[in-house]
Amino acid sequence: MNYIELIGPPGIGKTTLLNTLAQLRKEEAWKTYNEAISNITDSLVWNQLNSSKSRLLYLVNKANFTGHKKRGICNSLVKELVPQIAGVIYKKYEYLAEAQLQAIQTLSPQISSIIKCSFVSWHMQALQKLFLLESFGYNSTVLLAEGPLKNHHGLNQVAHDKITPNTLPNAIIYCHLSIAKNIERIQNRFALTGRVSTIHNTLNSGQIEELVSYSHEIAKANLGVIKMLGIPVYEIALTNATTDTELYKLQQFIAKNSSTKLSYQLQYV
């Protein structure tokens, strides 16, 4: 799979950085996940549709709705076409899922079972993105703010001989800032929107501080493993507004580690 992943604790500004990079990139340089799914649906032809539901979604998509509705339609259409992911794709990423499950079992009892389930759920949602893209043979580089390594708690338990080729990211953008600033951003987001990230929902201030500290520890530990694996890393502090110089360097890093294959053919594995 051809992807670059942003990693770092929840709530520090990875999605904001991704959106900024998307506005600055050259056309076709790389894709966000939603753009990749949109590319796939826009390239579909009628004879690939096998059900009345997929044909209806196809027609609604062709009607060129915009915004969130279009994203939802595209995702629904792709999932409708691939209701069962090929076993060969599952098998490729099984080592990551297995290490995650083993790691979750060893977490401190102070971390609630609900949050532990969230860790597993988030990891599987990230893998599901790769499953779908691989099912259609999508080759263009995809930049993921929610990838399989971001919330992986057992990365240090993965034996090198178990790593399946072409499953890890081409490169990593490691986002970081202080724990205090991270907590401040979570609180500001709640004050502005009345919402917080799913993982922080229902937690009091003390619990959020504990969880944020733990998330920072995991991110730093994973960074060490990623470097040992030889995956290129760009480290960026999100404490202040990102400068034009920093954004330029980051764009150069992404370009260096992106695939030159900007076209693809739809295929089912």
pLDDT one-digit tens code per residue, 172-183: 999 998 888 888
Closest CA to 129 of 268, 261, 1: 1
Amino acid type, 48: Q
Q: Which residues are CB-contacts of 117 (< 8 A; sequence separation ≥ 6)?
A: none
- Lookup: tokens for 253: 């890093």
10-29 residue pLDDT tens: 888 898 899 999 988 877 78
- Lookup: tokens for 255: 């370009």
Residue 26 is given by DSSP the state P
Q: Which residues pair with 233 in a beta bridge?
A: 172
| pLDDT confidence bin for 79, thresholds 50/70/90 | confident
Q: With 70 as the cut, is the pLDDT of residue 242 above it?
A: yes
Percent of the chain with pLDDT over 90: 35
Q: Would you call 73 exposed, middle or buried from its count of C-beta atoms within 10 A (0-12, 13-18, 19+)?
A: buried
What span, in angstroms and rounded, lies between the C-alpha atoms of 191 and 198?
Answer: 16
Domains of the chain, first to last:
3-29+85-256 (3.40.50), 31-81 (no CATH)
Residue 230 is given by DSSP the state T
Residue 194 region, left (φ>0) first, then alpha (ψ -120 to 50), else beta?
left
What pTM does this model have? 0.84
Amino acid type, 267: Q
Q: Choose between 101 and 202: higher pLDDT.
A: 101
Helix (H, G, I), strand (E, B) or coil at 19: helix
Cβ atoms of 39 and 65 within 8 Å: the answer is: no
Residue tagged 């990365």 (tokens): 155
Per-residue pLDDT at 58: 84
- Lookup: tokens for 113: 């079972």
186-204 residue pLDDT tens: 777 767 765 555 554 444 5
What span, in angstroms and rounded, lies between the C-alpha atoms of 251 and 107?
Answer: 37
